[in-house]
Each structure stands twice: as structure tokens, then as C-alpha cells.
Structure 1
Amino acid sequence: MVQTAHVSAVVWSAAGSLAAWLWLLLCQGWFWRTDVRLPPLGVPDAWPGVCVVVPARDEAAVLPASLPSVLAQDYPGRAEVFLVDDGSTDGTGELARELARRHGGLPLTVDSPGEPPPGWTGKLWAVRHGIALARARDPEYLLLTDADIAHAPDSLRRLVAAARTGGFDVVSQMARLRVESRWERLVVPAFVYFFAQLYPFRRIGRAGTRTAAAAGGCVLLRAETAARARIPDAIRHAVIDDVALARAVKRSGGRIWLGLADGVDSVRPYPRLRDLWRMVSRSAYAQLRHSPVLLAGTVAGLALVYLVPPVAVIAGAVTGSAAAAVPGAAAWLVMSGTYVPMLRHYRQPLWLAPLLPFTASLYLLMTVDSAVRHHRGRGAAWKGRTYARPEAVPDEG
């Protein structure tokens, strides 16, 4: 009787998982497709002024592979780069100046705002300082790009052309992350896949939808929109600043576009599992708004959607229950099929697709670890700083 009850539970769970995957396949904004790229480009009547803001904290290891590409932008209009050194201890600022002297290109200003006041994350305090410096140049657009992002020579020109001709207030591209180590191949494409599942790119760019997100490594933002949406002051405590920025812009009436990048690449390595673990766990619980209820729901949802299918297949094979094995196998097949386009985007072998349940189990553990770290006072830690949850941050009054 007990065994029958267990088999029945597996059967119902497998059926629920299959139903969830069919809904995700057909009703979640075609999240699994990877053809959302920069809109067809026209040529603006005039090329507007752009200021590039690069917040950087202890980035000497990656700057030689990224900053020269920013300085080398082939942009027909006026453009200038502001690198904001956020309290680095590894000579980031001096290295940036040396790279500019060596490589030339766009004018570079290096400055530092000092330590952030209470209620600000270090990155957004640096972005605020960079935007303040940029406003003296009266740019029409701001390009916010991380210090580990390398750009193709035409990257800025294509971003501006897409924004001007498409009428977008934000044009953001999800940089292609590095996939060289064994763990990067297993975890990184899934990171982008899960992000697209949460924030389907097609819905973000569609007028009238509430879905809003951006990719913080590459965000072209209209300066007037930034002022209207009070960026970054309105999101000063946000750990997941790119999504918070997009929401603030959309609330202010702005239009957003987000897609996968060609020619925008992250050069930051995550060679070991613990490096990737730290990247995910530092912000996973913040994504859940530090809510134990949302955490429990997320864990249950991940288990149902990603872990039940292989469990049902194994249980069905062991017990001889086709009623468990068939829907489990079908759900696993749909799951793997939706992952294939992302693996192709990252030029990875397709045999990694059936391993997605294992990767999802890692993300589940990273999320739980993020919550544990938060409750131990070590959540949202990055490069020597630990950030409080927003409710614990004093307001400016």
C-alpha cells in the first residue's frame, strides 16, 4: 500500500511537471528562443553625444582585456569614457590611465567618489558619480557598462542606432559570458536560460507589458530618461541593479529593449564551481525579496519542474510504472529541447541539454545557500562589502 502511494505521488508529480513544461514552452513568451537580437538598424539623422560610465572596483585583472575595446569604439558622434574607481586596492585607476595612454581612442576620465554612504551599493554610488561627471558634457545617451565587458568596435554605434531608430529609452544586451572551464560550460548557459525564463525578452520589448529587465553589463540609457526615473538614486540600495533600473524606467513611461549580444563579451573568468557559486548566491535571495515564503515556493517549483522528470523516469523504470516514466520522459525531453538553442548560442555540445536537471539542482542549492548567508549576516557580499536588505537601509528623508 505504501509503495503504491509512493508510485501514485510520482505519477501525479510527473504529470504536473509535464503540464508545467508545456505551459513554459507555449505561454512564457517563447523564452527559449535565442533570436532576440538588436532590432534592424537604421541610420540616425545625427549621431548624438554619448558618455560611457564604467564603475570599477579591483578590476586590474580584467581591464587590459576590456577597457581598450571601449576606448576603441568606432562612433561617428561625440563620445567620452568615465571610469569610476570604486575604492580599488589593486591599482585599477592607474592601470586605466596607463591603458588609455598606451592605446589611445576615446577620451578617458578616471575619478573616484569615495566610500558609498549608508543606503547605497558601491556600484550604484560609482554610477551616480559617473553620471554626474557626464552631465557636464550634456550627452543624449549614457552607456553603463561593467569593467569586465569587452565591446566590438561597432558596439556603441549599433546600440545608439537601435535606440534612436526604434524609439527606445533603454537598449540593453546580455553579454556573452565566458564558457571555457568545465564548470562554466555546465553552469553559465543555464544562467542566461533561467534569466530569460524569468524575464522573457520578447515581453520586455513589448509595449503595455509589466515585464522589465536589463543586463547590467551593457545598458544604453537616454540621459533624459535617467533624470526622469531618478536613476540611480531611486534604486540606490538595489543589489540586482539592472532589473531595478529597468523597472524604474518602465514605471516612468520609458520603453525598454533587451536581447542577446553579438560583439559584447564578458572577459571575467569563473573557472571553479565556487566562483560560480559565489556569483549566483550573492544575489539569489535578494531576487526573492528576502522572503522565506518565496524561497520555499522557488525550491518547490524548481524541484517540480527540473528534478521530478528524471526522478519519475528512474522510479518508473524501477517499479515498471509506465504511468510515471512516460510523462517524466516527455517533460525531460521538452526541457532539454528548450535548452538546445541556448547551448547553440554558446557553441556548446548538445549532450549537455539532458544534464539541465543536475545544473538546476546546483542553482537550487545556491539559492538556499544565499538565504542561509543572508540570515547569518553574510548575504549580498561582494568584494569586501556586505549589503543590508532594503528595509534595513535608512532613507534619505
Structure 2
Amino acid sequence: MSPVAWIAVVSLAAWGWLLLCQGFFWRTDQRLPAQVEPAEWPRVAVVVPARDEAEVLPVSLPSLLTQDYPGPAEIVLVDDGSTDGTGKLARELADGFGGLPLTVISPGEPEPGWTGKLWALKHGIARARATAREEPAYLLLTDADIAHEPDSLRRLVAAAGANGLDLVSQMARLRVASAWERLIVPAFVYLFAQLYPFRRINDPRARAAAAAGGCVLLRTEAAVRARVPDSIRQAVIDDVSLARAVKRSGGRIWLGLAERVDSVRPYPRLADLWRMVSRSAYAQLRHSLLLLIGTVAGLAVVYLAPPVTLAVGLCTGDGAAAWTGAAAWVVMVGTYLPMLRYYRQSLWLAPLLPFTAFLYLLMTVDSAVQHYRGRGAAWKGRTYARPEAAPDR
């Protein structure tokens, strides 16, 4: 066979392995597990880190204030150095909507060695544990751009209690309104699930651990045992680090797709989505040049090779390359269809996955370039030049 045909064979073999041996990552049936309402609902503290979130807060915060949770619950919003009136707006929304009691705190700039979000979570958790008449049994850590259906908190607590889970995380359904969002967002979740197969995450016997930071219900006892957020204070990819800390300390975790939790943050332009991915992509690779080279090569062989080898095979009359490349592309498209259905998008977007993967390849390379330029992971005016999980003490 020709070298092009061999590349197509390798790509097809890779897709065969991904299809059958990577935790069935392409399936979208990992939804919130069975829920049993307890006889007595435990106390819950909702902690919301917020930095310059005035644009989305009028949609997200009322969804928390009006939760129909039957037990005692409160909200602590941590105004992390906002300059757009986030804290003031939060108080006004609480006065207008009523519902769960809201406390707004401002801890100031993070100390050296802390990322902004984890610094905010540290103070929000401490405030929730210190002011309640009894310590909250659970902490709901949710981002300021996440909107919850009225029964979201009730369902999360019922699922955690019924299944003996220390951490329950749902990957919020991201917005898919603009053309770029429709092209890139479903692929983002698809690639995340490929990297962290939900079934393996949810298997207590497996070492794999991950969470989706927008919506994490955490048992307070497990947080204390895992020493979070202090033990992960430098982590830019804080959700994955949090899940690893909880699982390492003996906790049971669960991660799945959300049905009643949505992100309301818009990413209308390619530049917005580019920043979302590139700010942490190289941190995910532990700032390793070897891992970057391997990732780029892997994306090229798995996602770019099928259409390229098909085209080359058709142009040169290389039947083996054309047929094998086509077969790999078909498998790729088939694994992407469930995610497009979950996002209620046209299935005709599936053949465009190689192009979307090429954009992710460029975003990852750009993330490394920004790191070596000293810009690191940048988010809302803060830059972390060497973002990494803090060492245990």
C-alpha cells in the first residue's frame, strides 16, 4: 500500500479503538442518576464566584434565588474584584425576587499562589460554613453564568443522597445560538467527553476523575477531607483538579450531561470561543512541549487524515487510501451524531467535525504560544503565567 493508504489505515484503527475502548465516550446517556427524596432535606449553601458578571447575572441569579428546595438553603455570591457593579446588582436582584437568602462578600485580590476563582470559592465556602446555624451538608459550587431550572438543586441533592455520592457535577448545556457556537460548542463537549469518558469518571474502581465547574454539588465532609480548595489553589482547570482531589481522598464522584442546567454566556464570535479554549488548553497539557507535539499529531491523524486521505485517494486513483479514509470519516461522523442530537443541532454539521478539530488544533498551539510569551492563562484582566495544581503540603 501507499504511504497515504497506511495513514488512512492508522486513522481507521484509531477510530475503531475510540469507538469501542474509550468508555463509549460518544454516548450521551450519562444523565443525573436515580433520585430519592430524603425524609429530611439537608442544609445546602450555594457559592457563586462572580467577576464582572453584570451582563449575565439578571438571568442566572434569579434562577438560584427561586429554587424550590424544600430544606434550608442560602446563597453566598463572592464579588471577585468586579468593576461593573456585579455585587450591587446581585443585591438588587435579591431584593426584587426574594427567595433564598443572599449574602454578597468581597474578599479582595487573591493572595500569591491562588487563582481568582479558587480564592473566591475559599472565602465563599468559609463564609457559608461560619454563618449558618448548622454547617451545610452540601455545597453547590456554580458559576455566575449558569441558570438552573427551579428543581435543579432538589434533584442534585436527591441524586447525591440516593447514590452515596460526594460530588455530583453536571456539564451545563452551553449556548448554541450563533453560527460559530453551533459549529464549535457541541464539538467542545464531544472532545471533553473523549478526553474524560463519563462512564470511567463515574466508575468508583477507575482512577479517572473530572467535573464540570459550572455546576458541582459537593458534600462538605468530602471538601474538608480533600482540603479543597486549598489543595488545588493554583489550578486553572479547577474542576478537573477538584474532582481528582475528592476521588483521591476516597470520595465517590459522578459527572454527566445536564438537562435542566444551562450556560447563558454568549460566545457569538470565533474570537470569543477561541479565547475560551486557548486560555487553558496548554495548562491541560501540563505545559509539556512533548504532550503538545503528541496532541497535534494525534488530532491530525484522527481527525484530519480521513478527509485528506479520501481526497488524495480519489485524485490519485489510490483506492485503498480513498476507501479507508472514507470509512474512518464515517465512523467519526457516527460518533458525533449523538452530541449533535443532544444539542438539537442539524446532523449535517457532523461531516464538518474535521474542520472544527483543525480549529481546536490551532487554538491549542496558540495557547502554548501565549504561554511562552509570558501571557499564560488570561481571564478577565488576570494572567497566570504558570498555572498548575498546587503541590500538597
Which category describes the TM-score, using the shorter chain as reference length?
over 0.9
- Aligned amino acid, residue 139 of structure 1: P
Instruction: Write the deviation string for residues 28-80 of structure 1: whole angstroms up to 9, x where unpaired.
Output: 10100001101111121321000000000000000001000011100010000
SS at match of 2:2: helix
| 2:93 maps to 1:99 | yes
391 and 266 in structure 1: CA distance in 2 versus 1, 3 angstrom threshold: closer
1:186 counterpart residue number: 183
Where structure 1 has 5 or more consecutive residues not aligned to the other structure, the ranges are 1-6
Instruction: Write the deviation string for residues 318-339 of structure 1: whole angstroms up to 9, x where unpaired.
Output: 0011110111000000000000
Identical residues among aligned pairs (%): 77
Match of 1:280 among 265, 277, 281: 277
Match of 2:219 among 222, 237, 246: 222
Instruction: Write the deviation string for residues 251-272 of structure 1: whole angstroms up to 9, x where unpaired.
Output: 0000000000011000000000
Q: How does 1:1-397 map to 2 (within 5 A)?
A: 8-136=2-130, 137=132, 138-390=135-387
245 and 238 in structure 1: CA distance in 2 versus 1, 3 angstrom threshold: same
Using the TM superposition, give the Cα deviation of residue 99 of structure 1 relative to its aligned residue in structure 2, in angstroms. Answer: 0.4
SS at match of 1:134: helix
SS at match of 1:263: strand
1:4 counterpart residue number: none
Using the TM superposition, give the Cα deviation of residue 9 of structure 1 relative to its aligned residue in structure 2, in angstroms. Answer: 1.7
Number of equivalences:
390
Using the TM superposition, give the Cα deviation of residue 390 of structure 1 relative to its aligned residue in structure 2, in angstroms. Answer: 4.7
TM-score by length of 2: 0.98
The whole-number CA distance in structure 1 between the counterparts of 2:336 and 2:388 is 37
SS at match of 2:140: strand
Using the TM superposition, give the Cα deviation of residue 391 of structure 1 relative to its aligned residue in structure 2, in angstroms. Answer: 6.9
The whole-number CA distance in structure 1 between the counterparts of 2:380 and 2:71 is 36
The whole-number CA distance in structure 1 between the counterparts of 2:228 and 2:4 is 49
Deviates more, 1:138-147 or 1:37-46: 37-46
RMSD: 1.2
TM-score by length of 1: 0.97
- Aligned amino acid, residue 29 of structure 1: G
SS at match of 1:355: helix
The whole-number CA distance in structure 2 between the counterparts of 1:77 and 1:145 is 19
The whole-number CA distance in structure 2 between the counterparts of 1:368 and 1:392 is 21
SS at match of 1:109: strand
The whole-number CA distance in structure 2 between the counterparts of 1:141 and 1:128 is 15
Instruction: Write the deviation string for residues 143-188 of structure 1: whole angstroms up to 9, x where unpaired.
Output: 0000000000000000000000000000000000000000000000
Where structure 2 has 5 or more consecutive residues not aligned to the other structure, the ranges are none
SS at match of 1:142: strand
391 and 30 in structure 1: CA distance in 2 versus 1, 3 angstrom threshold: closer
- Aligned amino acid, residue 376 of structure 2: G
The whole-number CA distance in structure 1 between the counterparts of 2:189 and 2:373 is 28
Q: Which runs of 4+ in 1 moved over 4 A?
A: 390-393
- Aligned amino acid, residue 257 of structure 1: W
Using the TM superposition, give the Cα deviation of residue 344 of structure 1 relative to its aligned residue in structure 2, in angstroms. Answer: 0.3
The whole-number CA distance in structure 2 between the counterparts of 1:167 and 1:46 is 16
The whole-number CA distance in structure 1 between the counterparts of 2:387 and 2:281 is 15
